């Protein structure tokens, strides 16, 4: 639609105050955000490239990487499907209780990670609801891989939906209605009309979901049992190495996640740029 | 806007799947906490949540979350202001950096911050001689929570500042307001709801935070936050105790969540009519 | 295709958008749904299209009950007020969309689709923007593409929702003529919604005037303008002067003059309102019969080729408006403040219904 461009007000006013404020802001960010970022890499390479490499290819480290990727590989696609369904339901229709649903969507955000893990222990743990039944059938969820996957799924439920909903709401329903009158089925409408319009928000939601899935700590710590080589994700492995005072090892493995975080941020900027086009 | 009957296809399947999934993955597991708590004897429940260590942890958790959210409100406003209104070299990178706490796993943040502020850390080695102990003290928890909560404030305030029509400020100036008056009487009221929301979000996040705090707090008697105590009880297989604390925290979180949503919807309505 | 709307009612929450509306649209007719905002015209259009479902009543398309048929199964084409073009597709892809998504057994070949799209684009005179994206087009161009897209699937009825509402006045006028010509060329039934009475009267074969969810009158543009059924229609289709008075057995007394009102020959003494159009007011310097009113000229305003006069009656505080030609103004050499006489050539008398909300459509 024709929009009059907003006049830019950047850099108006007193130059001295401006640079003072910029200075303060940059110093603050440098102290609080940049130094932790740098620390990870400095400590990781404190004993050189060799020690770094060893820490990463160590079997327990590798299995933690594998487990992390597996948890993400389950949680992310499932929560993406959920996110799309939820966003479609919320933005294309009106129904009673819709606002309640939207609020409920934020629940995993509001819950402490420890509690996110606790709830699964309460359900599937040895003393849990179906714990005894599971024990009978020799199915291990808590202190085993399935529990980690469940906890990861729980904490990442809202990510894709929360990215899609505002975007889809802003785009309205008219294009879908037009497709409908032209004879398109529901699936055709979704894939040909809706999806191309939301692809960048969707991508960013998936990226955030993946980052959180790989980095989740509290919830997974509760359900994992910390069994080295079996039920440790990368963050848990970092914790173990750190508690053993193996700082180089801990930071080396942590650097992998940090790299992932940096890639996430770069992708976010890319997606923002694409959306604004 | 009139409500349309749901003529677009897929209502049943999308809403049905959404509700089913939410129930299965979120609602039912969460209810496990309350059901378990209900099965515990009231006196035992009460004793657990009012134990001295617990009370101390509530004070600590609430206190550190509040202070860090408050500090973040101030610094976050500064950062949002600078990003929304000024141009400077590498601004794009700085803007991306603000999301770092969102993207960085909490455990990594935790060990990095501990390393920086411990005795021979980059900052610690200068602060300790001055008598300022950060690591393994409540102050360390505040620092960690500031790291985690900063984006909540900035990302809430920044869009509001960016959307602020320069014409409104120009109108104020043309009516004779000084820069400071324009800031105080025009800009601040517009930004205040978003700032409050950001503060509330940072505060809520701080209450439940675990990964970034557990390392820098060191699990000393005076630095035990509530979420840590839940974990401790779990490790001792005291499920009832863990659940009791969890109930308290959940009720507080839900109340905050409702409050935040109310605040956000009122803000949105306010902005829409503008 | 003919359309039968039978007793359709629709409410949104507590708001009654349509109250028992019935209307027929003949094959290849161009019908306008005219009315103010909130009159229900867009709701009715959407119900015909299947984008909304009526609470009661039915829609028959070519004699068959289509009330429960989905929007994609009705053979209608819909043009949205804000075009609703698919923003990520080119013009070509937009227009081809309806053809591309047809089931395999009836879908045309790629070449046939491309040919049909190009034919349509030529029809709307936009074949040269085929590769562009909607955001690169002007409002008027987007509207024509939306039309081409709707026509691509050979609908039997074309439904347009305020098609020219969002456009500049001049583009609007051009597209109006263009739509009429297009309709004559392709001979498809058309129903379009507008709040602009000039547009409705200029373009359509028949006009249906709606107010507050009800159809007030249906007829050819000429007949609704010359013989409005009630005060609402009268005022909606143009400016009015109001005269309050009484009517008894075929004669209306309005202030100090009398008007024949044969349609009310059976009326016992009732309050009445007389309506007259500004351009039906005759200005003269002398009294001209029993129905001349003595007035003072408040304001003279030249508007393009005509002249608008604001007049105040000397008997009471009524303000009237008259529209005369420039020649007449020069001939009578009228000036502000002068006392002259005005005679309404045609007064349409309606019984004043005390239960109705007072109509105040005077300019």
Give the residue carrying structure tokens 């009630």: C230
Contact call for C72 and A184, based on CB within 8 A: yes
Q: What is the average pLDDT across B160-175?
A: 82
Q: Which residues from A are below 8 Å from C when comparing CB atoms?
A: 1-2, 174-175, 177-185, 188, 192-193, 196-197
CB contact under 8 A, B250 and A115: yes
Phi, psi of C115 (to 5 degrees): -60, -45
Tell me the chain A residues in contact with residue B106 when contact means C-beta distances shorter than 8 Å: 113, 215, 217-218, 235
Residue with the two structure tokens 């008697």 = B221
Strand partners, C295: C313, C340
Q: Which residues of A touch B190 (CB under 8 A)?
A: none
The answer to whether B175 contacts chain C (CB < 8 Å) is no
The pLDDT of residue B93 is above 70: yes
Indicate if A149 and A170 belong to the same structural domain.
yes
* Predicted local confidence at residue B271, as pLDDT: 56
Q: For residue C282, what are the β-bridge partners?
A: C343
Tell me, yes or no, whether A171 and A261 share the same domain. yes
Q: How far is C8 from chain B (nearest CA, A)?
A: 15
Q: Residue A227 belongs to a domain with what CATH number?
A: 1.10.3720.10
Asked whether residue A36 falls in the same domain as residue A82, the answer is no
Answer whether B261 touches A (CB < 8 Å). yes
Write down how long chain B is: 274
Which residues sit opposite C214 in a β-bridge?
C211
Nearest CA in chain B to A213: B105
What does the block give as tokens for C332? 């009578």
Residue B166 lies in a domain: yes
CB contact, 8 Å: A129 with chain B?
Answer: yes
Residues A84 and A172 in one domain: yes
Q: Retrieve residue C344's tokens.
A: 């309404």
Q: pTM to 2 decimals? A: 0.82
Residue A188 C-alpha, separation from nearest chain B C-alpha, in angstroms: 10
**Domain presence at residue B217:** yes
B7 and C15 in contact by Cβ < 8 A? no
Token pair recorded at residue A130: 């179906």
The residue range of the domain holding A30 is 1-44
- Count interface pairs A-B at CB distance under 8 A: 288
Nearest to B154 by CA among B100, B235, B222: B100
Tokens of A55: 């820490």
Categorize the per-residue pLDDT at B5 as very low, low, confident or very high, splitting at 50, 70 and 90: low
Residues A10, A114: one domain?
A: no
Both A83 and A19 in a single domain?
no
Gap from B243 CA to chain A (nearest CA, Å):
8
How far is C70 from chain B, CA to nearest CA, in Å? 8
Residues of B in contact with C17 (CB under 8 A): 2
Q: What is the mean pLDDT of residues B209-234?
A: 87
Residue C272's φ and ψ, nearest 5 degrees, are: -140, 160
3-state secondary structure of C301: strand
Neighbours of A31 (CB within 10 A): 13
The average pLDDT across C342-354 equals 78
Q: Count interface pairs B-C at CB distance under 8 A.
A: 16
The gap from C-alpha B192 to its chain's centroid, in whole angstroms, comes to 17
From CA A229, how far away is CA C80, in angstroms rounded? 60
Residue of C nearest to B4 (CA): C52
Q: What angle do CA A87, B197, A273 make, to 5 degrees?
A: 55
Interface list for B 83-102 with A (CB within 8 A): 83, 85-88, 92, 94-102
Contact: B2, C12; criterion CB under 8 Å = yes
Higher pLDDT, B265 or C214: C214
Looking at residue A12, what is its pLDDT? 59
Cross-chain CB nearest to C101 (options A175, A177, A184): A184
ipTM of the complex: 0.86
Confidence of residue B270 (pLDDT cuts 50, 70, 90): low
Do A25 and A132 fall into the same domain?
A: no
Tell me, what's the pLDDT at C360?
A: 42
State how far the Cα of C77 lies from the Cα of B202, in Å rounded to an integer. Answer: 51
Q: Which three-class secondary structure state does DSSP give residue C192?
A: strand
Backbone angles phi, psi at A70, to 5 degrees: -65, -45
Checking if the pLDDT of C105 tops 90, the result is no
Instruction: Give, as one character, the DSSP assignment of residue C258.
Output: E
**Residue B210 pLDDT exceeds 50:** yes
Residue B82 sits in a domain whose CATH number is 1.10.3720.10
Provide, as residue numbers in chain C, all residues whose Cβ is less than 8 Å from the Cβ of A188. 101
What pLDDT was estimated at residue C146?
A: 93
Taking an 8 Å cut-off on Cβ atoms, the answer to whether B253 and A110 are in contact is yes
8 Å CB contact between C62 and C238:
no
Closest CA of chain C from A9, distance in Å: 26
Q: How many CA atoms lie within 13 A of B273 on its CB side?
A: 6
C71 contacts in A (CB within 8 Å)?
177, 180-181
On whether residue B8 sits in a domain, the answer given is no
Same-domain status, A213 and A236: yes
- Which residues of chain A register pLDDT less than 70? 1-13
Per the domain annotation, does B165 fall within a domain? yes
Determine, yes or no, domain membership for B128: yes
- B9, B78, B95 ranked by CB distance to A185: nearest: B9
C42 pLDDT more than 70: yes
Closest CA to B211 of A239, A250, C112: A239
Q: Which residue has the higher pLDDT, A127 or B10?
A: B10
Task: Report chain C's C-alpha Rg in angstroms.
Answer: 25
- From chain B, pick out residues whose CB is under 8 angstroms from the CB of A236: 107
Number of domains in chain B: 1
Residues in C whose CB is inside 8 Å of some CB of A read 49-51, 70-73, 76-78, 80, 82, 84-89, 97-98, 101-102, 139, 149-150, 152-153
DSSP string, C327-352: HHHHHHT--TT-EEEEEES--EEEE-
Which residues lie closer than 8 Å to C286 by C-beta, 6 or more apart? C341
Q: Which one of B7, B8, B9, B11 makes the best mutation probe of the C interface by having the most chain C beta carbons within 10 Å?
A: B7
Contact B111 A242 (CB under 8 A): yes
* Domain housing B83: 44-273
Q: Counting beta carbons within 10 angstroms of the beta carbon of residue A153, is it exposed (0 to 12), middle (13 to 18) or buried (19 or more)?
A: buried
Query: In sequence order, which residues have a C-beta less than 8 Å from that of residue A7 and are 6 or more positions away?
Result: B166, B167
pLDDT, tens digit, 9 for 90 and up, residues B185-197: 888 888 888 898 8
- Indicate whether A35 and A170 sit together in one domain: no
Is A18 in the same domain as A126? no
Which parts of chain A fold into alpha helices (H)? 15-29, 35-44, 48-57, 59-92, 98-105, 107-110, 113-124, 131-136, 145-156, 158-171, 174-181, 186-189, 195-215, 218-224, 234-243, 247-276
Whether A27 and A123 share a structural domain = no
- B154 part of contact set with chain A, CB < 8 Å: no
Contact C275, C240 (CB under 8 A): yes
Q: What percent of chain C has pLDDT over 70?
A: 96
The per-residue pLDDT of chain B, averaged, comes to 86
pLDDT higher than threshold 90 for residue B69: yes
Let me know whether A57 and A35 are in one domain: no
Measured in angstroms, the CA of B3 and the nearest CA of chain A are apart by 7
The string of pLDDT tens digits covering residues C118-150 is 999 998 889 899 999 999 999 889 999 999 999
Q: What is the mean pLDDT of residues C14-37?
A: 91
Assign A217 to helix, strand or coil.
coil
What is the number of domains present in chain A? 2
Query: Does C358 score more than 50 pLDDT?
Result: no
**Is B36 within a domain?**
no
> Would B1 be classed as within a structural domain?
no
When pLDDT is averaged across residues C224-229 and rounded to a whole number, the result is: 87
CB distance C52–B3 less than 8 Å?
no
The predicted structure's pLDDT at residue C21: 93
Touching A: B residues 122-141, CB under 8 Å: 122-123
**B2 within some domain:** no
């Amino acid at each position: 639609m024709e929009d009059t461009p907003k006049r830019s007000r950047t850099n108006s006013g007193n130059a001295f105050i401006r640079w003072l404020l910029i200075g303060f802001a940059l110093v603050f960010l440098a102290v609080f955000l940049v130094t932790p970022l740098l620390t990870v890499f400095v400590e990781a390479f404190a004993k050189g490239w060799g020690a770094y490499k060893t820490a990463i290819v160590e079997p327990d480290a590798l299995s933690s990487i594998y487990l992390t990727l597996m948890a993400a590989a389950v949680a992310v696609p499932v929560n993406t499907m959920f996110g799309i369904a939820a966003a479609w339901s919320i933005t294309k229709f009106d129904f009673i209780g819709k606002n309640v649903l939207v609020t409920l969507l934020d629940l995993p955000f509001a819950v402490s990670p420890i509690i996110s893990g606790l709830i699964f222990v309460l359900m599937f743990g040895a003393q849990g609801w179906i714990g005894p039944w599971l024990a009978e059938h020799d199915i291990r969820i808590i202190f085993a891989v399935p529990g980690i996957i469940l906890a990861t799924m729980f904490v990442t439920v809202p990510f894709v939906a929360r990215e899609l909903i505002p975007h889809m709401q802003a785009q309205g329903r008219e294009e879908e209605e037009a497709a409908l009158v032209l004879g398109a089925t529901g699936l055709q409408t979704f894939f040909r009309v809706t999806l191309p319009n939301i692809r960048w928000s969707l991508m960013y939601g998936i990226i955030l979901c993946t980052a959180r899935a790989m980095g989740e700590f509290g919830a997974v710590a509760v359900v994992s049992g910390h069994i080295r080589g079996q039920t440790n994700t990368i963050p848990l492995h970092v914790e173990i190495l750190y508690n053993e005072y193996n700082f180089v090892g801990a930071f080396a493995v942590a650097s992998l996640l940090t790299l992932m975080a940096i890639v996430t941020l770069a992708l976010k900027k890319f997606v923002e740029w694409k959306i604004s086009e | 806007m009139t409500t349309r009957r749901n003529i677009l296809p897929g209502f049943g399947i999308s809403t049905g799947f959404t509700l089913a999934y939410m129930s299965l993955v979120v609602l039912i597991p969460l209810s496990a906490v309350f059901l378990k708590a209900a099965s515990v004897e009231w006196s035992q429940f009460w004793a657990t949540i009012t134990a001295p260590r617990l009370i101390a942890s509530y004070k600590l958790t609430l206190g550190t979350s509040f202070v860090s959210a408050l500090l973040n409100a101030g610094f976050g406003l500064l950062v949002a202001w600078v990003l929304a209104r000024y141009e400077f070299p590498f601004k794009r990178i700085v803007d991306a950096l603000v999301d770092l706490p969102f993207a960085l796993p909490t455990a990594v943040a935790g060990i990095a911050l501990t390393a920086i502020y411990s005795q021979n850390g980059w900052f610690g080695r200068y602060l300790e001689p001055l008598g300022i102990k950060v690591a393994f003290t409540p102050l360390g928890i505040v620092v960690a929570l500031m790291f985690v909560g900063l984006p909540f404030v900035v990302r809430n305030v920044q869009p509001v500042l960016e959307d602020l029509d320069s014409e409104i400020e120009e109108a104020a100036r043309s009516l004779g307001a000084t820069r400071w008056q324009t800031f105080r009487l025009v800009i601040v009221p517009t930004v205040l709801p978003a700032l409050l929301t950001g503060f509330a979000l940072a505060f809520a996040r701080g209450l439940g935070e675990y990964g970034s705090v557990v390392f820098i707090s060191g699990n000393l008697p005076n630095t035990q936050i509530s979420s840590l105590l839940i974990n401790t009880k779990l490790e001792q297989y005291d499920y009832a105790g863990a659940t009791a604390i969890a109930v308290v925290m959940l009720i507080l979180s839900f109340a905050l969540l409702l409050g935040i949503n109310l605040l956000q919807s009122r803000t949105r309505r306010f902005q829409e009519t503008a | 295709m003919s359309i039968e709307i039978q007793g359709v009612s629709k409410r949104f929450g507590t708001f009654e958008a349509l109250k028992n509306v019935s209307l027929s649209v003949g094959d290849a007719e161009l019908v306008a749904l005219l009315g103010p905002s909130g009159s229900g015209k867009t709701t009715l259009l959407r119900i015909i299209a299947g984008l909304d479902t009526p609470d009661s009543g039915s829609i028959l398309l070519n004699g068959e009950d289509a009330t429960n048929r989905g929007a994609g199964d009705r053979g209608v084409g819909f043009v949205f007020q804000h075009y609703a073009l698919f923003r990520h597709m080119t013009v070509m892809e937009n227009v081809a969309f309806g053809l591309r998504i047809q089931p395999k057994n009836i879908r045309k070949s790629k070449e046939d689709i491309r040919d049909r799209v190009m034919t349509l684009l030529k029809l709307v005179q936009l074949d040269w923007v085929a590769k562009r994206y909607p955001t690169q087009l002007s409002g008027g161009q987007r509207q024509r593409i939306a039309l081409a897209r709707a026509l691509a699937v050979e609908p039997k009825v074309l439904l347009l929702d305020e098609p020219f509402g969002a456009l500049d006045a001049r583009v609007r006028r051009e597209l109006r003529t263009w739509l009429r010509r297009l309709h004559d060329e392709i001979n498809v039934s058309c129903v379009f919604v507008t709040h602009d009475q000039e547009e409705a009267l200029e373009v359509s074969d028949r006009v249906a005037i709606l107010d507050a969810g009800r159809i007030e009158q249906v007829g050819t543009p000429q007949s609704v303008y010359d013989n409005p059924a009630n005060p609402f229609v009268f005022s909606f289709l143009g400016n009015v002067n109001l005269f309050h008075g009484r009517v008894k057995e075929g004669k209306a007394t309005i202030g100090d003059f009398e008007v024949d009102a044969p349609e009310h020959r059976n009326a016992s003494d009732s309050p009445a309102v007389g309506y007259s159009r500004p351009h039906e007011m005759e200005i003269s310097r002398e009294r001209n019969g029993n129905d001349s009113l003595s007035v003072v000229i408040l304001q003279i305003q030249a508007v393009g080729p005509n002249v608008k006069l604001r007049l105040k009656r000397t008997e009471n505080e009524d303000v009237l408006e008259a529209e005369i030609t420039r020649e007449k103004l020069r001939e009578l050499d009228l000036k502000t403040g002068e006392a002259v006489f005005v005679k309404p050539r045609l007064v349409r008398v309606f019984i004043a219904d005390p239960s109705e909300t007072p109509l105040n459509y005077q300019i």
